[in-house]
Amino acid sequence: MSQTFANNQQSQSVDPDEIGYFENLANDWWDESGPFAALQAMTPARVRYIKRHADRLLGKSLQGLDVLDIGCGGGLLAEPLARLGAHVTGIDASEGAINAARDHAKRAGLDINYRHDTAENLADTGASFDIIIASEVIEHVNDRIGFLNTMARFGHENKDQSTMVMLTTINRSVAGVALVKYAAEYLLRLAPKGTHDPRKFVKPSELQSEARKVGIDLDDITGIQPRLNGFSLGGMPLMNYAASGLIL
């Protein structure tokens, strides 16, 4: 671990307790019956949402776009985006997750730039992207506004070139807390016990307001609904939801 990375362990994007928790699950990312099975099932809906709003906001398909996947884990979202032609950079503070992602991408024959790094460290290099993604991440960070501000730093310096932001997360609603936290973790066992801290769940209006403070206009909020055969997009954002918009 580099000294720079170590010094950033208390950054907005890194909660050491959260990283330690996911580090222990590093070998399970691609287990279809394992602790990330629900996240795997959500991935097709996440990809559909990204494609839809890349077209809406950027007027482009994903082919050839530079995409940053913050908190990429084992690469569940990075891989399908790469297959659609995006140039994907995936970063994660869990070294085990990055190793799992690299190994799986290599076996799949995919060229994805995986980095064991924090968002702050990468932003300090001046890197910019067409799309910045934080999917199922913001409910695990130390400081939401600080993290959103770091996301905004990846925008193109040339304001004639638009930069899209996309997040998925969990609503701090009665349904979100009851179903995503307690039912999913303790009754249905769709996620490992202790995966979520409901105090870090965020209401859509809060997320939009906090993003606006750092220059991100999240102008779309779409619910993500569980179905028997996966997840669908649409409806009220009572539990899981996606948000997208442009860096101003």
pTM for this prediction: 0.89
Is the pLDDT at 63 greater than 80? The verdict is: yes
What is the rounded CA–CA span in Å between residue 72 and residue 115?
10
Written as one letter, the residue type at 114 is: Y
Is the pLDDT at 112 greater than 80? The verdict is: yes
Is the pLDDT at 115 greater than 70? The verdict is: yes
What is the rounded CA–CA span in Å between residue 43 and residue 141?
21
What is the rounded CA–CA span in Å between residue 158 and residue 175?
41
Is the pLDDT at 190 greater than 60? The verdict is: no
pLDDT category of residue 200 using cuts at 50, 70 and 90: confident
Closest listed residue to residue 90, CA positions, set 110, 66, 68: 68
Q: Are 56 and 130 in contact (CB under 8 A)?
A: no
pLDDT category of residue 3 using cuts at 50, 70 and 90: very low
Neighbouring-strand partners of residue 173: none
- Domains in the chain (CATH in brackets) are 3-247 (3.40.50.150)
Is the pLDDT at 206 greater than 80? The verdict is: yes
Is the pLDDT at 193 greater than 70? The verdict is: no
Give me the pLDDT at residue 188, please: 43
Q: Higher pLDDT residue, 8 or 72? A: 72
